[in-house]
Structure 1
Amino acid sequence: MPTPTPWYARIPPPLIMLFAIVVFVAVMTYVLPAGHYERIEVAGRMRVVPGSYGTVDSTPIGILQLFRAFPEGYKVATPIIFICLASALMFAILKATRTIENAVGRLLYKLGTKRAELILVLLTFFYGLLGIMVGYENNIAMIPIGAVVVLALGGDLVLAAGVSAGGMTVAFGLSPINPYTVGIGHEIAELPLFSGAGLRSVLCFGALAITAAFNVRYFRKIRRAPETAIGRGLDERGLALAKPLDEYAVSGRDWLLLALFGDGLAWVLYGVFNLGWFINDISAVFLVVFVVMAACSGLSLSQISAAGMKGIAEMAPATFIIGMAATVKVLLEQGQIQDTISYGLAQALQGLPTYLSAVGMSIGQSGLNLLIPSGSGQALATLPVMIPLGEALGLSRQVSILAFQVGDGVTNLFNPSLGGLVAMLSLCRVPFDRWLRFVLPLTGIILVWAWLGLLVAVAIGYS
């Protein structure tokens, strides 16, 4: 009797998933009426005017227009694509000189691998704090370091992604000080910036603790039964330690390159917090650090070139998918159905009981997140509509913003349209189907935790 095909074997790769979403959006331009809200500029941002939705002449997407949208999508995604390539170049030098491998090997020799579970917990929270304090795509350069450490502890690449990409995604999505969701939401709702941080912090750090416990549980499982590892057979070359821990030493050159790398990250932090830097500025810093590290690496010009091209080649599939994800946004705008979808979501929530409407708002935002993965883009498109609707349903403005944040943030864990996630998984060499096998149970647990937080927020009149 043939063995039944497991569900995860039928998951298409993200390239196919995204193409299906692109085609779906194009078809929807023939089904949904075109419409738009009026917008006004407030503090340099275009904000929707509540109650201003109206239909307009349809602009359905034809075949040629569908494929013409792809280069437009790549144009929109250029900053994210370039920061991925710049971080790949920077890590290529550290990889070619074995600097990260030497440093991790020596560190674990000093710490001992008997504290592996504690190290996994601390590492999950470390990446979570990066997500809270620094941002998302800004931290892409830190992902390979987590992969080297987790493999050295006896984990696999899927666990490496769970610790680094998982911890960062959860914390960034539920961050009490997320400027792209909470910050814009408070600006729209005319609330004090980052007010209500107490409850948001409990939700965020509780979700991080759940993620850390989930990672440790998976680690115990694959140590007990290696054949159950989801990451079994993935390419670990260049990331796994090549010799016993007691044989590693950190040379003077390694210390110099690590110092340059650390100085670059410090430079980025200073620019983000004090100079208002964004992705292009960070990319420029990464390129400067790459050039300086290359000059100090002792590698020949041909070795530097080969290492850089290899790093770019490894990142290329992720950047291709990032551009395709941006194509969805382009088609929504060209077909003029983005506002129609937001309006439909608002209409669907009317008449629901108060508690159910809060959860329903987060579920609706979760679906919208697959089409508009940009948190700031979603906030500007939907919150001006959702906040007045929430008040009519008995929800405070803080609860409406929290519902939006939960819907946007938690589903980022499995969103194929989120370019940063795809890039991080690429750096960990984890195919999307294997990532879904790992992360979907975690996503369900964190959603339940977040929805409980939403219900508590409604019960206490969170404002």
Structure 2
Amino acid sequence: MATPPDPTQPETVGFRFPSAFTILFALIILVAALTWIIPAGQYARVASEALGKDVPVAGTYALTAANPQGIFDVILAPIAGFYDPDSYAANAIDVSLFVLIIGGFIGVVTATGAIDAGIARAMVRLKGRENWMIPFLMALFALGGTTYGMAEETLAFYMLLIPVMIAAGYDAVVAVAVILLGAGVGVLGSTINAFSTVIASDAAGVTFADGLMLRLIILGLCWLVTVAFVMRYAARVKADPSKSLVFDKKAANEAHFIGGTTLPGTAFTGLQQIVLILFALTFAVMIWGVSSQGWWMAQMSGLFLIAAILIGMIARLGEARLVEAFLNGARDLLGVALIIGLARGIVVVMDAGHITDTILHAAEMSVAGLPEVAFINVIYWIEVGMSFLVPSTSGLAVLSMPILAPVADFAGVQRELVVTAFATGSGIVNLITPTSAVVMGGLAIGRVPYERWLRFIWPLLVALTAVIMAALSAAVFFA
């Protein structure tokens, strides 16, 4: 792993990796260019009452009138990314608004001093045992990922966990990894996740219980590999901070996230304890609402808005200070909200150019006649490729399963294995894809540059891919 730059040395003039905004806009331009090259085509679609969406019909692909995307489409793509109703990916405006309100909520809680004092107290209590936070928290996030597809909801936890990890002697990469990889591995090994395996199983014509044992094995193995990987990096950073991939941002991150106030002697008043109890209760209510009441971004945004007002009133901040704290917190995450819409713009351009179905049709043709083990592994890689274009797991399930699952019958492979290949393929890509609001939003909150996240995670991706392909191959062999 390359040594990070020394912040004590003058900055050298040379190539600097572009920001997330530049990367995403360049991808919009690239996809727009592809709409001039890749033939336009579409599958016929029928309404699915079970899925509540139109699904493509295998064998009905046909070329259609081209709709190449020009300069004005590229310019409008980030705007359409916020609210375009015609794409497979979820709208970004609700996620972006949720992020802004989360920022305001954190700003109000921070203004009470409760977070700083609480972190100080936690560091005293955890002295010498900080490393156990990593597997414990990653298990909780993985549980959310595998059961109800915890993804966008994780954006609420970054501003809570990053200060704790930095105060414990780690860095922002560790905090981002605990949340993003914890929940991401859960989604990768989706067991009863309604937004992944349940939708995919329905679309494939099997029950979500089919293949459940294999997915549990994959979940357990991938979780162990991921936790070991994160703990190894965390131990290196704690022993030698210069090993951090964001060492050059160490002072700035400490000032931004903990402000130098989380010393062991920081007072922890009764009022601040009440604020932290309400703070924790807000997240508990959010999880309850999402997992059992069908809440989504509007309900969660309303929850954090009213919680911010309630906490401000209890802490006696006053109207002017409460509003100022809320606006300052929202302002800190404005860049994150814009990144989310920009990422969605890529999918908007691809769908408008009618090349999504053409890519899927090419995938369908590529697996015809393959032996069983080769077939399931190629399906996995097809889902990996498609996931870069359609980061929504539910959207990709509805798009790809009605086409690829029937092909498995001709290859002699059980359809539930195709569902598992879909879940693992889309799950592993959604740990890194720049078209995902969860990835780009989380990295932006953590102030972790995208290229450094790639440097951090690529060995883990290799290891996880080896585990997944071995499991899929063994399942076919012993079926």
> What corresponds to 1:227 in structure 2?
242
Q: SS of the residue aligned with 1:140?
A: helix
**Whole-Å Cα distance in 1 between the matches of residues 365 and 262 of structure 2?**
62
Q: Distance in 1 between matches of 2:21 and 2:370?
A: 37
The answer to whether the 8 Å contact 1:93/1:297 transfers is no
Q: How does 1:108-257 map to 2 (within 5 A)?
A: 108-112=123-127, 114-134=128-148, 135-234=150-249, 235-240=253-258, 242=260, 246-257=264-275
Q: Retained in 2: the 8 A contact 1:170–1:208?
A: yes
2:145–2:186 CA contact under 8 A, matched in 1 = yes
Contact 1:105 1:245 (8 Å CA) reproduced: yes
2:414 is matched with which residue? 396
Partner SS for 1:47: strand
Task: Deviation per CA, 1:416-439: give whole Å up to 9, x if none.
Answer: 111012111222221212211111
CA distance in 1, matches of 2:126, 2:78: 49
Question: C-alpha deviations, 1:158-216, integer Å up to 9, x for none?
Answer: 11111122212222232212222201111112322344322212211321221111111
| Matched-pair contact (CA < 8 Å) for 1:157–1:236 | no
Q: Residue type matched to 2:58 in 1?
A: P
Q: CA deviation at 1:335?
A: 0.9
- Counterpart CA distance in 2 for 1:9 and 1:288 is 46
Bigger drift between 173-182 and 332-341 goes to: 173-182
Distance 1:196 1:110, change over 3 A: same
What is residue 372 of structure 1 aligned with on the other side? 390
Structure 1 residue 318 corresponds to structure 2 residue 324: no
Q: Normalised by the size of structure 1, how large is the TM-score?
A: 0.92
CA–CA distance in structure 1, aligned partners of residues 261 and 335 of structure 2? 30
Q: Residue in 2 aligned with 1:38? A: 44
Q: What displacement does 1:249 show?
A: 4.3
Match of 1:27 in 2: 33
Cα distance in 2, alignment partners of residues 246 and 25 from structure 1:
52
CA distance in 2: counterparts of 1:348 and 1:182, whole angstroms: 24
For normalisation by structure 2, the TM-score amounts to 0.89
In the superposition, relative to structure 1, how do residues 49 and 443 fare at CA in structure 2: closer, same or farther (>3 Å)?
Answer: same
Residue 252 of structure 1 deviates from its aligned partner by 2.0
Unaligned runs of 5+ in 1: none
Matches of 1:396 and 1:36, distance apart in 2: 27
Task: Write out per-residue CA displacement over residues 128-152 of structure 1, whole angstroms, 9 at most, x where no aligned residue.
Answer: 2233345211232122222122112
User: 1: CA distance between counterparts of 2:262 and 2:419?
Assistant: 50
- Assess if the C-alpha contact under 8 Å between 1:124 and 1:211 holds in 2: no
CA contact (8 A) 1:143 1:165 kept: no
Indicate how the Cα distance of structure 1 residues 300 and 341 shifts in structure 2: closer, same or farther if over 3 A, else same. same
Equivalent position of 2:297 in the other structure: 279
Inter-partner Cα distance in structure 2 for 1:375 and 1:205:
21
Q: 1:196 to 1:241 in 2, by over 3 A?
A: farther
2: CA distance, partners of 1:187 / 1:402: 13
The equivalent of 1:97 in structure 2 is 112
Aligned partner of residue 247 in structure 1, secondary structure: coil
**Pair 1:364–1:314, CA change in 2 (3 A):** same
Query: Which residue of 1 is the match for residue 69 of structure 2?
Result: 61
Q: What is the identity, as a one-letter code, of the residue corresponding to 1:63? A: I
Q: Is the 8 A contact 1:15 1:321 kept in 2?
A: yes
Which amino acid in structure 2 is aligned with residue 25 of structure 1? V
Is the Cα contact below 8 Å between 2:196 and 2:394 reproduced in 1?
A: yes
Measured against aligned partners, the alpha-carbon deviations of 1:217-248 in whole angstroms (never above 9, x if no partner) come to 11222233332211213222242373575414
Residue 254 of structure 2 aligns to a residue in which SS? coil
Query: How far did residue 343 of structure 1 move?
Result: 0.6
Residue 396 to residue 331, structure 1, CA distance change in 2 (3 Å): same
Which consecutive unaligned segments of at least 5 residues does structure 2 have? 6-13, 84-90
Contact 1:315 1:423 survives alignment (8 Å): no
Displacement after TM superposition at 1:302 (Å)? 3.1
The letter for the 2-side match of 1:309 is L
Counterparts of 2:31 and 2:266, CA distance in 1: 53
CA shift for structure 1 position 81: 0.9
Distance 1:108 1:227, change over 3 A: closer
Instruction: Kindly state the Cα deviation for residue 90 of structure 1 after the two structures are TM-superposed.
Output: 1.4
The one of 402, 420, 425 equivalent to 1:407 is 425
1:300 paired with 2:318, answer yes
How far apart in 2 are the matches of 1:87 and 1:192?
A: 37
Alpha carbons 1:34, 1:59 under 8 Å: kept: yes
What SS does the corresponding residue of 2:294 show, helix, strand or coil?
A: coil
Q: In 2, are the aligned partners of 1:89 and 1:308 still within 8 Å (CA)?
A: yes
Query: Are residues 246 and 261 of structure 1, via their aligned partners in 2, closer, same or farther at CA, if it must alter by over 3 Å?
Result: closer
Q: Please say which of residues 168-177 and 438-447 is displaced more in the overlay.
A: 168-177
Contact 1:109 1:245 in 2 (8 A): no
Distance 2:475 2:263 in 1: 49
Cα distance in 2 between the residues matched to 1:82 and 1:384: 33
Distance 1:25-1:245 versus aligned 2 partners, 3 A rule: same
SS at match of 1:233: helix
Deviation at 1:22, TM superposition (A): 1.1
Secondary structure at the aligned position of 2:163 is classed as helix
Secondary structure, aligned partner of 2:55: strand
User: Match for 1:49: what amino acid?
Assistant: V
Instruction: Tell me, in whole angstroms, the C-alpha distance in 1 between the residues paired with 2:324 and 2:377.
Output: 51
Aligned AA for 1:444? Answer: V
